[in-house]
Structure 1
Amino acid sequence: MKTSIVIATYNKLEYTQQCIESIRNFTENDSYEIIVVDNNSTDSTVAWLSEQKDIQLIVNRENLGFPKACNQGIEIATGDNILLLNNDTIVTSNWLSNMIACLYSQEQIGAVGPVTNNISYYQKIATNYATLDEMHGFAAMFNISDPRKWEECLHLVGFCLLIKSSLVNEIGLLDERFTPGNYEDDDYSLRIRLAGYKLTLCRDTFIHHYGSASFKDNEAKSKYEQLLTTNREKFIDKWNFNSDLSHVIREDLIDLIDEENEAPIKILDIGCLCGGTLLRIKHLFPFAELHGVESNSMCVQVASHFANVVDSEHQFEQGYFDYILLSDSTLERPEQLLEQYKRFLKQEGQWITSIPNSLHYRVVNDFIRGMVRKEEKQYLNLSEIDAIYKEAGFGQLSITGVTSSEITASEREFINKLIDLSQFSSSAAYEIKNFLIKATAKEPVNDILDSLNQLNDENGSDHAIQKLLTFEDADIIDSILKMKDKQIEIFNQLAVMNFEKGHHEHVLPYLLQAYECNAKDESTLYNMGYILYRYGENESALDYLLQILEKDDEIIELIQQIQSNIDESQPVNQDEVLKLLLRRIEFHIDQDEAIQTFIEIVRDEHIQVEAILEIVDREIIQKSEILNLLGCVFSEYELYEMVIPLFNQSLVYNPVNEAALHNLGMFLFQLGEYESALNFLESITDKNEVALETIVALRKDLSDE
């Protein structure tokens, strides 16, 4: 395999000589070719390059800029890979072999890059060497190939960029609109990702970089900054987002995620931009389920390659996320976002965000000078933050202040004046640039109990029922069971009120729980009988009503009516028999016997799964639960051809039925359908030990393949 190393030069011969000598010293012979494109250097660069027998040289008669020079080199390259390398770099031991190992570790990886001592974005690492000899010693210890140190990223800086030649052929050359240079690598990184390929940072590979040797030495600082501004605007015009802002990784927010690396957490990032923070979380927490909210359509397209990213109008499942991050607190006022998204947080979930301090000395100074920007209306002080989160119903609240890194003498003087004019005795209130907030969602028990207490309030009962509909039935049942008295009375009251208001899915769970608490309670028996009768479940209704010991005239009349209905509609066909059996299974009436009879009929009469699904859809209330149960039963009785359709349809009715997700995942695992099994098991929110162990085993088997 051959790599074509393309280097653009403009003066600075000493850098170019060091760069090329290092390539010769630390790269395997016959594994590379060197192509140098000179942009009309005025020193001895061209003369020296012309003497080098192992270099292909292109000499431009004018400075055509970095993108054009790179493209000229790429066009004559013959290697399997293209490596764009700045001339102010010094490569090190194992540098190229390490990166090639990473580049070809996955078909989806399109380009890779190393870390260095001097660069923008996240490729810079801390170093402590003082000489080049020390640098090479550092690199020799550092450059040990280790796949655990490879990290997918949004952007790779073009100082040292290794790309598969096949990918260059697919997406084309560098965009020369960014001449003379800057943002062409942002553009190329984006194009690689949009083509469906990954960028990977090789944190196991280090090279030395002097840093911007050509630009900064030959153009005034103001002109250089103007070039950055101009090319930034070109990028925005082309792609409709700011690359500098949209690739940010909020390490400060990630640091507040207190979980084991193997934890299967669900995370939502509000204002995720291109997903830099989510991608970093994916590296740190490989089992995390990643979601984002973003209004910029191009950013959504970028981030959707590795996360489920939607626009701000999307509604998530209530109580779904372990963590909600707010990456950009200036999108909307924090209290609006809390109101909009808090219900999607689990009971013990955590909301993590960063909010700028409205009392920061620079903000105050801008306000005094009349320079307050629109977005600064989103800034809050400590007391306002505390009030907002308490109003939103959060429990534990941890707030950390992040101070400015450097304060000049004049700024310190201004801060002291502010202290003299205010009630604060220290400078901390003005030095804190932003607040990092970690808030734990309060358990809904108190809210549930408050709503239950309003059920008998003539003016508040309707509101109470509507409020309770925002909670899970299981949470409400748990709250009622913790009460000292009136448990059965409240279960019956909730069932009747939901029945009267047409919330039928919230009726039977409460009656069944009341029956479980006391199977002889006559109010429960009557309500169960009457409501099942109204649902057309005559046989089940009669079973409950007959259990009432003291039957008044109303109950006797109802029993007679139900018996008459049964007599008039005796089962005349197979579907009717199956329907009655399924209803007995649903309402736990002689369930084991009903299941046995149901299985015998299915086997003896060769009933097709489509017929069962049709009856469930037409006649059964708790569709998802019954189908999941049938899937387990049919698996036990070795009716395997029906199992997957039953589990699948269970998930159609309720995509978050965790029992069905678990059972289908385990069944597919037994069949050897590892990828499908892994997808279902990873979708479970509260994974048990069996699911977690199976996921680990599946990931290992799939990676071994």
Structure 2
Amino acid sequence: MNFIYNKVALDFEPVFSILIPSWNNLAYLKCTVDSIRKNSALRHQIVVHINEGLDGSEEWVKSQNDLSYSKSSGNCGVCYGFNAASHLATSEYLVFIDDDMYLCPDWDKYLWEEIKTRTDDKWCISSTMIEPFDKGNPCVIANKPYGLHPEEFEEARFLNDYANFEKADWNGSQWYPMVLPTAVYRVVGGLSIEFTPGMYSDPDFMIKLWHYGIRYYKGISKSRAYHFGSKTTARVKRNDGRSMFILKWGMSSNTFFSNYLKIGTSFLGDLPETTETTSLDWKKRLDRWKVKLKKRFIPLSNR
């Protein structure tokens, strides 16, 4: 697979470098970029990673005078995609965004206000997604349908409503939009490419941040984005990320989220160190046992 890179020179210092991988998803990509341009309070660098680009994505990105981009000749997934785009980043802070999102007014202002309260690099901060369906994610404002495609997006009605949805700040930042220091992304090695095309690469990244020493995983309620809903993952052949995560870290992502990140609970500050109790040890053993059992009884050709 071949990669190319094109960095656009900016005449300002960007506050964030916004990374957006996209795989033949031009209508959504245009909507995401347009919302950044319209609804940002600050000025940012936008870097798109174009996976394949058979839908005219590369031609459209080239026609824009403010978009840098990396491109892979095939679909390399989000791990390679984010990592490649990050090499073009010029800001001290990286923002990770899916290409099927609409960012709400002042989304960046609320993230920036939170960042300015931090005195070190031990943090990971997310916006709060608004989604049309309830998928059981406690970090999301769910059941708010305003359209599943940019062409049917009820933008005016959404802009009238979105700020009124009640939601407290929450623990366990791992959802996009997400911001963290560029240096931290690089020191932990970015997203782990063994999870290509990307399933479970996010929890893997979160546990790498945990081992780096981050305990401040905060979801900001006021910073919001509408998420049309996983338009790329529905098309891709998935890796067995769950088993890979357990074999790599000795526990499931659910065990990590509930016992370490306290994901979806009300935010109260830095997360406490996790007490390695007998029950937690048995939970980890059960996680590992399930993977071993699965690998024993499922032929390699069917995994």
Q: Does 1:78 align with 2:90?
A: yes
Q: Does 1:199 align with 2:209?
A: no
Aligned partner of 1:150 in structure 2 is: 169
Aligned partner of 1:309 in structure 2 is: 275
Q: Does 1:184 align with 2:201?
A: yes
**C-alpha distance 246-190 of structure 1, shift in aligned 2 (>3 A):** closer
Could you tell me how far 1:205 is from its partner in structure 2? 1.9
**C-alpha distance 330-192 of structure 1, shift in aligned 2 (>3 A):** closer
Structural mapping, 1:60-139, within 5 Å? 60-107=72-119, 109-118=122-131, 121-128=137-144, 130=146, 131-139=154-162
Separation in structure 2 between the aligned mates of residue 42 and residue 84 of structure 1, nearest angstrom: 23
Separation in structure 2 between the aligned mates of residue 306 and residue 174 of structure 1, nearest angstrom: 25
* RMSD (Å), alpha carbons: 3.0
Deviations 1:387-415 (A, max 9, x none): xxxxxxxxxxxxxxxxxxxxxxxxxxxxx
Structural mapping, 1:355-504, within 5 Å? none
Q: Does 1:274 align with 2:260?
A: yes
3-state SS in 2 of match to 1:162: strand
TM-score by length of 2: 0.76
**C-alpha distance 169-215 of structure 1, shift in aligned 2 (>3 A):** closer
For structure 2, list consecutive stretches of 5 or more residues without a partner in the other structure: 1-13, 147-153, 285-303
| Residue identity in the other structure for 1:137 | N
**C-alpha distance 204-328 of structure 1, shift in aligned 2 (>3 A):** farther
Aligned partner of 1:243 in structure 2 is: 253
Separation in structure 2 between the aligned mates of residue 308 and residue 246 of structure 1, nearest angstrom: 10
Q: 2:68 pairs with 21, 32, 56, which one?
A: 56
Aligned partner of 1:265 in structure 2 is: none
1:23–1:91: 8 Å Cα contact kept in structure 2? yes
3-state SS in 2 of match to 1:177: helix
Aligned partner of 2:54 in structure 1 is: 42
Aligned partner of 1:169 in structure 2 is: 186
Deviations 1:632-682 (A, max 9, x none): xxxxxxxxxxxxxxxxxxxxxxxxxxxxxxxxxxxxxxxxxxxxxxxxxxx
Separation in structure 1 between the aligned mates of residue 217 and residue 274 of structure 2, nearest angstrom: 19
1:114–1:123: 8 Å Cα contact kept in structure 2? no
Could you tell me how far 1:68 is from its partner in structure 2? 0.3
Greater relative contact order structure (CA < 8 Å, 6+ sep):
2
**C-alpha distance 244-79 of structure 1, shift in aligned 2 (>3 A):** same
Could you tell me how far 1:142 is from its partner in structure 2? 5.8
Deviations 1:578-605 (A, max 9, x none): xxxxxxxxxxxxxxxxxxxxxxxxxxxx
Structural mapping, 1:323-334, within 5 Å? none
2:32–2:103: 8 Å Cα contact kept in structure 1? yes
**Overall identity of the aligned pairs, in %:** 19
Could you tell me how far 1:104 is from its partner in structure 2? 3.1
Could you tell me how far 1:40 is from its partner in structure 2? 0.5
Q: Does 1:14 align with 2:27?
A: yes
3-state SS in 2 of match to 1:9: strand
**C-alpha distance 135-55 of structure 1, shift in aligned 2 (>3 A):** same
2:170–2:266: 8 Å Cα contact kept in structure 1? no
Separation in structure 2 between the aligned mates of residue 208 and residue 69 of structure 1, nearest angstrom: 22
Deviations 1:264-322 (A, max 9, x none): xxxxxxxxx43628x94773xx8xxxxxxxxxxxxxxxx9x60461433xxxxxxxxxx
1:90–1:208: 8 Å Cα contact kept in structure 2? yes
| Residue identity in the other structure for 2:114 | C
1:129–1:138: 8 Å Cα contact kept in structure 2? no
Aligned partner of 1:399 in structure 2 is: none
3-state SS in 2 of match to 1:215: coil
Structural mapping, 1:692-703, within 5 Å? none
Could you tell me how far 1:105 is from its partner in structure 2? 1.9
Could you tell me how far 1:106 is from its partner in structure 2? 2.5
1:102–1:150: 8 Å Cα contact kept in structure 2? no
Separation in structure 1 between the aligned mates of residue 213 and residue 89 of structure 2, nearest angstrom: 24
- The runs of at least 4 consecutive aligned structure 1 residues that moved more than 6 Å come to 326-331
Aligned partner of 1:4 in structure 2 is: 17
Higher-helix-fraction structure: 1
**C-alpha distance 40-128 of structure 1, shift in aligned 2 (>3 A):** closer
Aligned partner of 2:231 in structure 1 is: 213
Structural mapping, 1:487-636, within 5 Å? none
Separation in structure 1 between the aligned mates of residue 266 and residue 73 of structure 2, nearest angstrom: 48
2:77–2:196: 8 Å Cα contact kept in structure 1? yes
3-state SS in 2 of match to 1:136: helix
3-state SS in 2 of match to 1:48: helix
**C-alpha distance 120-196 of structure 1, shift in aligned 2 (>3 A):** farther
**C-alpha distance 328-175 of structure 1, shift in aligned 2 (>3 A):** closer
3-state SS in 1 of match to 2:104: coil
Could you tell me how far 1:101 is from its partner in structure 2? 1.5
Larger radius of gyration: 1
3-state SS in 1 of match to 2:275: strand
